[in-house]
A = this chain, B = another copy of it.
Amino acid sequence: MDPDLSALDAYLDERDADGYLIDADSEDSDQYYLSGFDAPDPFLTLYDGETHLLFPRSLEYGRATREARAETVQRYVDFDHAELVEEFGPEEAVSHVFAAFCESYGVESVAVPPRFPLKTADSLRARGVEVTADTDGIVTEIRATKTDEEVEHVRTAQRANEASMAAAEALLRDASVTGEGTLEYDGETLTSERVKEEIEVTLLRHGCSLDETIVACGSDAADPHDRGSGPLSADEPIIVDIFPRDKATKYHADMTRTFCVGDPSETVREWYDLTERAMDAAFDALEPGATGEDVHDAVCDVYEDAGMSTLRSDDRTETGFIHSTGHGVGLDVHELPRLSPAGGELEPGHVVTIEPGLYDPDVGGVRIEDIAVVTEDGYENLTDYEKRLVV
């Protein structure tokens, strides 16, 4: 994929910086996006209209010359690293190498991402290179708008996601209930861990990996970041939130469903219906020109009108709607744009989740999440999975 970096050119122009510099491994999505290279150890990418890479060792050098989307690829040894170590010691030597690398392209000032490593920045500054933290995260901003190819990558990951959600739902549907109200499957207690394993194996078979999955029941489900553990219970809401990454493309999908085996309480039924309405309101607001805040407000309106707390009505609440409405999805599972009070204008090509939810330790949690792409005249929902509380 050839990204459109014209916004980066304009950014450097506007700030009068000679280049944009990243020091990270390719787990950093800005690094992967800008360098077009996948490496497990940190390396430098300098963009000055062209892209230049610098590697510590020869190890990645050969592969980078073949694979990276870069005009030049160099290594420390190309800047007399060994001699500099002799003269200055290993720490200071690297700062001389970095400065020489910048100097070789006539770069005397760089903008860098907000989370750029302080040590590298201070090293460059000590050698006279001007380093300014880019408070906007310009490459992160550019990544928010997806090409058609990137949207297809998300769609592919979402198909795998749906297969794994179906596998999880099937386990729950086929579970029996013990006298104590615990779920059983195949003669064994059905746990969060067992359902997650089923999800993860299904994703692996579909070419996806993931670090974590949420299968959270009861009070676990009342904390949106609790991954869930232990036996699953009947009559209680079970939140299943799956956010896999396609191994081939590195793009993510993201989807949540809330299931209940047996008979949910009246409160949970009400929360589920309310959350579906909040979701509809969010989608009604989702279009280019609207802001992320508009979409978030639509959800807060539905919840607050029904008497629920939100962070908008009470910024210290620990129950009710206690997170934002959604986030961008791409190389990172959480990226721009924000569907939150800080969310700016939406544009065609933005891929976002819509994920309203309600939480209370005394009730549990309910969350429903789809993933969609903003289009020229509205949005396309990329999710193809039924919403149904009772399985």
| Given A58-B316, A58-B317, A197-B204, A114 and B115 contact (CB-CB distance below 8 Å) | no
A62 to B59: give the CA distance in the assembly, Å: 45
Would you call A90 an interface residue if the criterion is a C-beta within 8 Å of the partner chain's C-beta atoms? yes
CB-defined interface of A183-197 with B at 8 Å, one 1/0 digit per residue?
000000000000001
CA distance A131 to B133 in the complex (A): 15
Is A103 interfacial (CB 8 A cutoff)? no
- Choose the segment among A223-231, A265-273, A279-287, A299-307 that binds chain B (4+ C-beta atoms closer than 8 Å): A223-231
Q: How far is the CA of A226 from the CA of B63 in the complex (A)?
A: 8
A318: chain B residues at CB < 8 Å are 58, 61-62
Residues 63-79 of A, flagged 1 when their CB comes within 8 A of B and 0 if not, give 10000000000000100
Q: Are B211 and A315 in contact (CB under 8 A)?
A: no
Each complex incorporates copies of this chain amounting to 2
Assess whether A225 is in contact with B63, with CB atoms less than 8 Å apart: yes
A135 and B118 in contact, given A61-B318, A62-B318 (Cβ under 8 angstroms): no
Interfacial chain B residues near A7, Cβ < 8 Å: none
**Residues 215-246 of chain A: 1 if any B CB is under 8 Å from the residue's CB, otherwise 0?**
00000000111100000000000000000000
- Closest-CB distance, A294 to chain B (whole angstroms): 18
Q: Does A121 contact B (CB under 8 A)?
A: yes
Interface SS of chain A: loop
Contact A40 B225 (CB under 8 A): yes
**Chain B residues whose CB sits within 8 angstroms of the CB of A315 once the complex forms:** 58, 77, 82
Query: Any chain B CB within 8 A of the CB of A342?
Result: yes
**A297 touches B (CB below 8 Å):** no
Contact of A63 among B63, B133, B223 (CB under 8 A): B223
Tell me the bound Cα distance from A226 to B200 in angstroms.
24
Q: Give residues in A with beta carbon < 8 Å to B.
A: 39-41, 57-63, 77, 82, 90-91, 112, 114-122, 131, 133, 135, 197, 200-201, 204-205, 209, 211-212, 223-226, 311, 315-318, 322-323, 334, 342
Q: Which 3 A/B pairs are nearest by Cβ-Cβ distance?
A: A114-B119, A115-B117, A119-B133
10 contacts between A and B (CB under 8 A): A40-B212, A61-B318, A62-B223, A114-B120, A116-B117, A117-B117, A118-B131, A197-B205, A201-B205, A209-B209
